[in-house]
Each structure stands twice: as C-alpha cells, then as structure tokens.
Amino acid sequence: MNRVTKPGGKILLLEHGKSNKYQWLTNYLDAWSIERAKKWGCWWNRDIESIVKESGLHVVKKEVHQLGTCYYYIAQKRVNNNNT
C-alpha cells in the first residue's frame, strides 16, 4: 500500500492477525493457520505490527482489540524521499 499511496496520503487498515498479548491464542492461531487459509483464504496468524512497521508508513493511530487479534491503524505515507 505504501508504494501506491501518494506522499501524505492516508491508509486505514483493519486487519486480524496474531496476538502479541496472549501466547496461548497465538499458538492456537498457528496450529490452525494452514487449514484456515485453505478453507477461507486468509492467514489469521500474520504479525500485523511487524508488517506495518516494515512498510515504512507513519502510524498516526493504532488500536488493538479482541484479545489482541484485531488491529486498526490509521497510517500515512511519509512525505520525504528517504522514508524516515
């Protein structure tokens, strides 16, 4: 999304992924991830926080809900050229 967003453009992201709060829940999501992906086409154990961090986007707001598995981000593409 960072690649196709204009500098200063906003991205609203609502995603589910692994829980960084409860290891037992992350273990469950990991155990059933392949079956879930085959049946429903989604990977529910992705590390959303790491993905957003690696994207280079500036996080304006972040909320985590539902035992740490539902992520809501408002992010913005950085205006400068070096993405710092």
Phi, psi of 21 (to 5 degrees): -100, -40
| pLDDT value for 82 | 57
| pLDDT value for 4 | 87
Alpha helices in 1-84 (DSSP H): 23-40, 48-55
| pLDDT value for 50 | 96
Which regions of the chain are under pLDDT 70?
Answer: 81-84
